[in-house]
């Protein structure tokens, strides 16, 4: 039988993206014993995973600073660990890729920094080979996938589109055009907001210079991806006319949605926000639960600088340094205001809700077409009747899509949060019944006394 491993951390951080790294560094430097878990092979999260940095990029120095400080701290990083469950109060379980086993972690203070993912919306042809999520394609390229010489249309919504287009071009792709669904009327006030964030103006200007020969169309969105067995062209519209862009690849994502599954499983309160449900936190990043903090994108999509500041505040608060945390509130609030401006500028237009045809697949894992969902009253009913959201991604892709299309929210989060090999679950169950673990479900943590 596999030896069962329980590790204890004074401060346990889930997620080693910018927010988790900043939280762990701050807590460790304040004297806490910190363990960080992440499902990737290294720290860095979505933005800092691998890849060649663009020279002269301000963010590269932010990355270097964050990595140097994190590595110089006493925080212990455990990669390849995906947190799947919270079986008891103050206990998490993670699946370890390397050993194929489930490990148990207990904590005194918990910081959730689980980041965000792309929102993908269904339109005819979106499941064709050659159509990728924008950030997904960027991640593949960072992992070695070659786009050299490929004609790529980048479409959808959000500042990520420009970052992805510049990145793909840097790796030799020919970016044909960038189609942003938000209209100029929404983007002009956003540009004005940027004036109080000179770093972001600089970043945006760098992308525009890099993409000076690429058309950036606002108020423009994809209506179909064409091709028989792979993508050959994308049909784009500006609401008045439709045209065809021949291409090899389409990189398409409609802004980001917070990863709130683990906080929701623990019982943290969520708030509804235009960019999706977010974890509710107080000024110190504490959630509705005692000793549970949340930082970065799960609390709302606000970008790198907000994630770093929220992480530091959560780390300091968890390590009982409230005054040091307080000194960062003003800066953090300014960055969060930027997040609100993002939500307003990149709000999805209603036209995107009518792109899917009856036969368009909405749930890719279970092959559920739009026509089977139209008659359903809720997502629970849709799950029961069609299996929408019940495949391996557990609704991570179709969930935000059906929320946009039908207004359904996912209210049932169940462990394991990610698919786990049966062999790991069986050995875990055997160990539980043999008495290696004590305590009972449910694992919900207690809300603070009010």
Ligand X SMILES: Cc1cc2nc3c(=O)[nH]c(=O)nc-3n(C[C@H](O)[C@H](O)[C@H](O)COP(=O)(O)OP(=O)(O)OC[C@H]3O[C@@H](n4cnc5c(N)ncnc54)[C@H](O)[C@@H]3O)c2cc1C
Closer CB to ligand X, residue 223 or residue 337? 337
Encoded tokens for 134: 């924008």
In angstroms, how far is the first alpha carbon of the chain from the final one? 45
Exactly one of 11, 13, 17, 355 binds ligand X (CB under 6 A); that residue is 17
- Mark residues 274-313: x for contact with ligand X by CB under 6 A, - for none: ----------------------xx-----xx--x------
Exactly one of 152, 160, 355, 362 binds ligand X (CB under 6 A); that residue is 160
Under rule CB under 6 A, residue 83 binds ligand X = yes
Number of H helices, E strands in the chain: 14, 21
Under rule CB under 6 A, residue 87 binds ligand X = no
Region for 125 from its dihedrals, namely left if φ exceeds 0, alpha if ψ lies in -120 to 50, beta otherwise: left
Closer CB to ligand X, residue 170 or residue 360? 170
Count other C-beta atoms under 10 Å from residue 324's C-beta: 17
Strand partners, 327: none
Under rule CB under 6 A, residue 256 binds ligand X = yes
Closer CB to ligand X, residue 139 or residue 154? 139
Signed CA dihedral, 200, 205, 206, 212: sign only: positive
Closer CB to ligand X, residue 307 or residue 325? 307
Encoded tokens for 4: 């069962």
Number of residues that bind ligand X (CB under 6 A): 36
Exactly one of 12, 32, 47, 225 binds ligand X (CB under 6 A); that residue is 47
Least distance to ligand X from the beta carbon of 384, Å? 26
β strands within 158-198, DSSP E: 174-180
Q: Stretches 45-53, 143-151, 178-186, 273-281: which one binds ligand X (CB under 6 A)?
A: 45-53
- Mark residues 308-337: x for contact with ligand X by CB under 6 A, - for none: ------------------------------
Cα separation, 269 vs 286, in Å, equals 11
> What residues have CB less than 8 Å from 228, skipping those under 6 apart?
none
CA 94 to chain centre: 19
Count other C-beta atoms under 10 Å from residue 370's C-beta: 20
What are the residues binding ligand X (CB under 6 A)?
14-20, 37-40, 45-47, 82-83, 113-118, 135, 138-139, 160, 163, 256, 259, 262, 296-297, 303-304, 307, 417
């Amino acid at each position: 039988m596999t030896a069962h491993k329980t590790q204890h951390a004074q401060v346990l951080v889930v997620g080693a993206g910018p927010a988790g790294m900043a939280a762990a560094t701050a807590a460790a430097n304040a004297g806490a014993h910190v363990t960080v878990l992440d499902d990737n092979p290294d720290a860095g999260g979505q933005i800092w995973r691998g890849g060649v940095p663009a020279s002269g990029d301000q963010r590269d120095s932010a990355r270097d600073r964050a990595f140097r400080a994190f590595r110089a701290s006493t925080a212990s990083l455990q990669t390849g660990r995906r947190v799947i469950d919270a079986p008891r109060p103050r206990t998490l379980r993670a699946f370890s890729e390397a050993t194929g086993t489930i490990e148990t972690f207990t904590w005194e203070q918990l910081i959730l920094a689980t980041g965000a993912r792309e929102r993908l919306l269904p339109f005819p042809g979106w499941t064709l080979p050659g159509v990728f999520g924008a950030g997904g394609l960027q991640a593949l390229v960072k992992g070695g996938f070659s786009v050299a010489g490929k004609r790529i249309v980048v479409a959808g919504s959000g500042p990520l589109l420009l970052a992805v287009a510049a990145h793909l071009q840097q790796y030799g792709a020919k970016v044909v055009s960038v189609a942003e669904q938000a209209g100029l009327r929404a983007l002009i006030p956003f540009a004005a907001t940027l004036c109080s964030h000179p770093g972001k103006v600089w970043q945006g200007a760098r992308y525009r210079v890099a993409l000076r020969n690429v058309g950036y169309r606002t108020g423009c969105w994809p209506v179909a991806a064409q091709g028989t067995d792979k993508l050959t062209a994308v049909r784009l519209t500006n609401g008045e006319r439709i045209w065809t862009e021949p291409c090899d690849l389409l990189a398409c994502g409609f802004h980001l949605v917070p990863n709130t599954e683990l906080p929701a499983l623990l019982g943290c309160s969520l708030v509804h926000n235009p960019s999706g449900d977010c974890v509710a936190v107080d000024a110190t990043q504490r959630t509705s639960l005692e000793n549970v903090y949340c930082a970065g994108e799960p609390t709302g999509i606000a970008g790198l600088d907000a994630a770093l500041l929220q992480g530091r505040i959560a780390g300091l608060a968890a390590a009982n340094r409230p005054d040091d945390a307080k000194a960062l509130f003003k800066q953090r609030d300014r960055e969060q205001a930027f997040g609100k401006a993002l939500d307003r500028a990149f709000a999805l237009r209603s036209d995107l809700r009518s792109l899917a045809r009856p036969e368009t697949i909405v749930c890719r894992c279970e092959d559920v077409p739009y026509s089977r969902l139209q008659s359903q009253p809720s997502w629970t009913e849709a799950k029961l009747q069609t299996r929408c959201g019940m495949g391996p991604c557990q609704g991570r892709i179709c969930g935000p899509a059906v929320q946009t299309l039908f207004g359904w929210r996912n209210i049932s989060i169940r462990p394991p949060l990610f698919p786990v090999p049966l062999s790991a679950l069986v050995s875990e169950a055997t160990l539980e019944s043999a008495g290696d673990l004590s305590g009972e479900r449910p694992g919900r943590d207690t809300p603070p006394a009010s």
